[in-house]
Amino acid sequence: AQSVTQLDSHVSVSEGTPVLLRCNYSSSYSPSLFWYVQHPNKGLQLLLKYTSAATLVKGINGFEAEFKKSETSFHLTKPSAHMSDAAEYFCVVQIKAAGNKLTFGGGTRVLVKP
């Protein structure tokens, strides 16, 4: 069975500094991987997705993620944090052989300090 581990439950950064959110996955098959963001009292919004094309994926709002098969990682980065980036972020894995159900990581809550 596939699983997703987000290595940090909370991340605190200063506005204008880089953001790194770490995600490791476990799967016997080639996965599709996603990052979603959830702002308070809102639904989830897709930031970016990896589906076996380019390993460096660019998403919305300046975010990008790199798929590293050898490390089974899919870390999310942004060069310069903005106050509006304060939210909870979810790394998600999807395996075709497992019925395409989405499996979510535990989430990383990002705090951006002025």
| Residues contributing to the site for other proteins (CB under 8 A) | 36, 41-46, 49, 51, 90, 94, 96, 99-107
Q: To the nearest whole angstrom, how small is the minimum distance from the Cβ of residue 41 to other proteins?
A: 7
The nearest distance, CB 112 to other proteins, in angstroms, is 22
Taking the complex as a whole, the smallest distance from the CB of residue 14 to other proteins amounts, in Å, to 27
Q: Please say which residue, 42 or 56, places its beta carbon nearer to other proteins.
A: 42
Query: Which residues, other chains included, contact 9 with Cβ-Cβ below 8 Å and sequence gap of 6+?
Result: 106, 107, 108, 109
Nearer to other proteins, 87 or 105 (CB): 105
Instruction: Indicate the SS3 state at residue 10.
Output: strand
Which of 30, 56, 47, 24 is closest to 110 using CA atoms? 47
In the three-class reduction of DSSP (H, G, I as helix; E, B as strand; rest coil), residue 83 is classed as helix
